[in-house]
Structure 1
Amino acid sequence: MIRLARVGARKQPYYRVVVIEKSRARNGRSVEVVGTYNPRTNPASVTLKQDRIDYWTAKGAQLSDRVAILVAKQGAPVAA
């Protein structure tokens, strides 16, 4: 699964976009970090490694709802 993992300090959220097994904890050990998301900037800053996201979705990884929205805003097609 490709989802967000929170790494920011208290009341200062900052997220990594990670590839992780679905059954693991939110901030558990991830397979790979494929991007970052900072909602505190205006507008929110998103950095994604689109080639790695495409690779993992081809291998069967699913995007979480929020990550699918971030990928769509980047202008890349979302794999179903």
Structure 2
Amino acid sequence: MAVRIRLTRLGRKKKPFYRIIVADSECPRDGKFLDILGTYDPLQDPAVIKVDNEKLQDWMGKGALPTTTVKSLLKKAATGE
């Protein structure tokens, strides 16, 4: 079972809001997940990224790999952009 850290979409039509989740790589985008690590709101100016770093380090220590999108969001959250 390959575990990925990725986004799942919430919100209304034309008003996206995302959760940063940990899920099996074979599950659908909005399907079952293992844990919620944070949120991403692209509609705020600037975009708001909230991440529970303790949970993130725990899951990455267990072998979970972030997708390219999540990796770039985590980099932005770390630099404070």
Structure 2 length-normalised TM = 0.90
Identify, as 1 or 2, the structure richer in strand: 2
| Map of 1:19 onto structure 2 | 22
3-state SS of paired residue (1:54): helix
Paired AA for residue 12 in structure 2: A
| CA drift at 1:75 | 1.8
| Map of 1:67 onto structure 2 | 70
| Map of 2:38 onto structure 1 | 35
Structure 1 segments unaligned to the other structure (5+ residues) = none
Question: How many correspondences in the alignment?
Answer: 76
Residues 23-69 of structure 1: CA deviation (Å, up to 9, x unaligned): 00000011001000000010000100011111101101000111101
Give the root-mean-square deviation of aligned CA atoms. Answer: 1.0
| Map of 1:47 onto structure 2 | 50
Structure 1 length-normalised TM = 0.91
Structure 2 segments unaligned to the other structure (5+ residues) = none
Aligned: 1:8 with 2:11: yes
